[in-house]
Amino acid sequence: MDDIPKIGITGMPSVGKTQTLIKIIEKIEKSGYKLEGMITTPLIEKKKRVGLYVEDWQTKEKEVFARLDLDSKDKVGKYGVDLAALERVGVHAIEKAINDEDTDIIVIDEIGKMEMLSEKFCEMVIEALDSDKPIMVTLHKKSRTPLLQDIRRRDDIRILEVTAVNRNLLPYKIEKIMAEKLPPLF
C-alpha cells in the first residue's frame, strides 16, 4: 500500500495549483497512462473571475458550480455554490475514476471550501484516497475543516506546496515522484 503514490498539492489561492496539476496530468498522459477525475477552472468574464467550472477530465463535460451572482443557499464568500452541478459532474467523475479498471491515476482538483459543502463530495474524496489507485489532489491551504485536517494527517499522502518561486519546477518534481512509483504500462 505504501508504494501507491498519493500526492497533495497545496498553496495560496491563485498561486497555480490547478495549472501545476494540469501540467503533470498532460505529461503523464503522454506517457500512456489514463487519468480520470475532476478539475475546477475559472469562469472569466471581462478579464475578471466571476465563478468556477467543475469539469470531468476525461469527458470534458463541465458545468458552472460557483458564481458571484448565483442565488444559492450555499455560499462561500461572495460566491453562490451549485452543489448539484458539483455532484453531477465532479463527484460522478471521481466515482468513475475509482471504479474504472482502465484508470491509472485519480485526480481531484480541488478539495476546498466550496467543494466540501457537499457531503457526497467529501465521502467520494475519502473513498478515492482509500482506494488502491495512485491519486493527485489539490488542497485548500488554510481551511481547517475536518476533511482537510484528516487528509493532512494521513501518512500515505505526500503534500507539496506550490509557490510563485517553485511553480515552474514543481510539476517536474511531482511527475518524477509519480513515475518512480507507477506500475509499468506493459
Q: What is the pLDDT of residue 2?
A: 58
* Mean pLDDT along residues 104-125: 96
Percent of the chain with pLDDT over 90: 85
Angle, helices 170-181/17-30, rounded to nearest 10 degrees: 40
**Number of C-beta neighbours around residue 81 at 10 A:** 24
pLDDT digits (tens, 9 = 90+) for 15-53: 999 999 999 999 999 989 999 999 999 999 999 999 999
- Give the C-alpha separation, 58 to 60, whole Å: 6
Are 82 and 72 within 8 A, CB to CB? yes
Distances (CA, A) of 53 to 75, 80, 103, 158: 15, 13, 23, 27
Domain ranges of the chain: 6-181
What kind of fold does domain 6-181 have according to CATH? Answer: Rossmann fold (3.40.50)
- Tell me the average pLDDT across 163-182: 90
The whole-number average pLDDT for the span 51-61 is 97
Degrees (nearest 5) of the Cα angle 112, 116, 118? 145
pLDDT at 99: 97
Is the backbone peptide bond immediately before 87 cis, with ω within 30 degrees of 0?
A: no
- Answer yes or no: is pLDDT of 85 > 80: yes
pLDDT at 14 over 90: no
pLDDT of amino acid 148? 92
Q: Which of 9-18, 33-42, 173-182 has the highest mean pLDDT?
A: 33-42
Residue 186 has pLDDT above 80, yes or no: no
Task: Give Cα 10 distance to the centre of its chain.
Answer: 10
Beta strand residue intervals within the chain, DSSP E:
6-11, 35-45, 48-56, 62-67, 75-76, 79-81, 105-111, 135-140, 158-161
Mean local confidence (pLDDT), 123-145:
93
Burial of 157 per CB tally in 10 Å (0-12, 13-18, 19+): middle
From the CB of residue 154, how many other CB atoms can be counted at a distance below 10 Å? Answer: 13
Q: What is the pLDDT of residue 1?
A: 43
**What is the pLDDT averaged over residues 92-104?**
97
CB proximity list for 119: less than 8 A, separation 6 or greater = none
pTM: 0.93
Mean of the pLDDT values across residues 123-135? Answer: 96
